[in-house]
């Protein structure tokens, strides 16, 4: 009888922990507004406020030590199974784990680019991180009509971004869509894990500190 009682108690405890874990990741649960943890080093922000659509070149590594408060809600919006996109996705997932970010993923191939963007926005995240060139044209169409949603594009950029869209590029990346192709010579080898890590951390730091609507160049 004692063993049976202990087993029932253990099972109830496990169920409670499971339910608690699910609840903590419930994006419908009210919570305090997210904040930024840490401060960028000198050289991250330019001396004067950048103009809209400007290209900003932050000092190398000046974004280190900055993260969102735990529980920051991010949707990884992705398209494509190419090696470059996989590198960026892995970097976003690692960053999310390190920073205790609540991360969900929407894959555009399941329903098309625009429906996928709408699905991501409907989740009401703090930030939507986009990877994959196939999303760029659709983002250019959707984002100007949803200025209350924040977007971060990695390894590509919008030709005319609104204030809610920030991008991170480098030599070898820079796809712009809308028939413009790449701003620089495309180089798959430039999409390294180190570059992906720098891209998500620099981009998140820019969004968290209010430097949005620009292109960060991280060479």
When the pLDDT of each residue in the chain is averaged and rounded to a whole number, the result is 88
Q: Beta strand 36-37 with 67-68: parallel, antiparallel or unpaired? A: antiparallel
Q: Of 17 and 187, which is predicted with more confidence?
A: 187
H helical segments located in 46-82: none
90-99 tens-digit pLDDT: 999 999 999 9
Considering the segment(s) 51-217 as one domain, its CATH architecture is 3-Layer(aba) Sandwich (3.40)
- Helix, strand, coil share of the chain (percent; to 5): 40, 20, 45
Radius of gyration over every alpha carbon of the chain, rounded to an integer in angstroms: 19
Predicted local distance difference test score (pLDDT) of residue 19: 37
Whole-angstrom distance, CA of residue 207 vs CA of residue 56: 13
Tokens 């204030």 identify what position?
163
Both tokens of 189, joined, read: 């080898």
Q: What pLDDT is attached to residue 178?
A: 63
Give per-residue burial for 54-71: e unless 16+ CB within 10 Å, then b.
eebebeeebbeebbbbeb
Over residues 164-195, the pLDDT tens digits come to 999 999 999 988 766 555 555 789 999 999 99
Q: Which of 143, 181, 165 is nearest to 214 (CA)?
A: 165
Among 29-33, 37-41, 194-198, the minimum mean pLDDT is found in 29-33
Q: What would the pLDDT profile of 97-146 be if each residue is shown by its tens digit?
A: 999 999 999 999 867 999 999 999 999 999 999 999 999 999 999 999 99
Q: Give residue 56's pLDDT.
A: 98
pLDDT of res. 26: 83
Mean pLDDT, range 18-22, rounded to an integer: 37
């Amino acid at each position: 009888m004692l063993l049976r009682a202990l087993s029932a108690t253990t099972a109830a405890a496990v169920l409670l922990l499971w339910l608690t874990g699910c609840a903590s990741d419930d994006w419908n649960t009210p919570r305090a507004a997210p904040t930024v943890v840490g401060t960028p080093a000198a050289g991250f922000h330019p001396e004067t406020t950048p103009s809209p659509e400007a290209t900003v070149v932050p000092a190398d590594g000046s974004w280190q030590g900055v993260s969102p408060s735990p529980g920051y809600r991010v949707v990884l919006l992705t398209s494509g199974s190419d090696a470059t996109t996989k590198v960026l996705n892995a970097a976003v997932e690692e960053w999310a784990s390190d920073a205790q970010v609540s991360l969900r993923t929407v894959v555009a191939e399941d329903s098309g680019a625009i429906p996928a963007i709408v699905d991501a926005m409907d989740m009401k995240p703090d930030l939507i991180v986009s990877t994959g060139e196939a999303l760029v044209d659709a983002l250019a169409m959707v984002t100007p009509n949803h200025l209350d949603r924040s977007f971060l594009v990695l390894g590509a950029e919008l030709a005319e971004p609104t204030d809610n869209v920030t991008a991170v590029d480098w030599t070898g990346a820079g796809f712009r869509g809308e028939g413009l192709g790449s701003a620089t010579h495309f180089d798959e080898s430039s999409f390294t894990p180190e570059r992906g890590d720098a891209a998500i951390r620099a981009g998140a730091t820019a969004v968290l500190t209010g430097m949005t609507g620009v292109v960060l160049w991280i060479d």
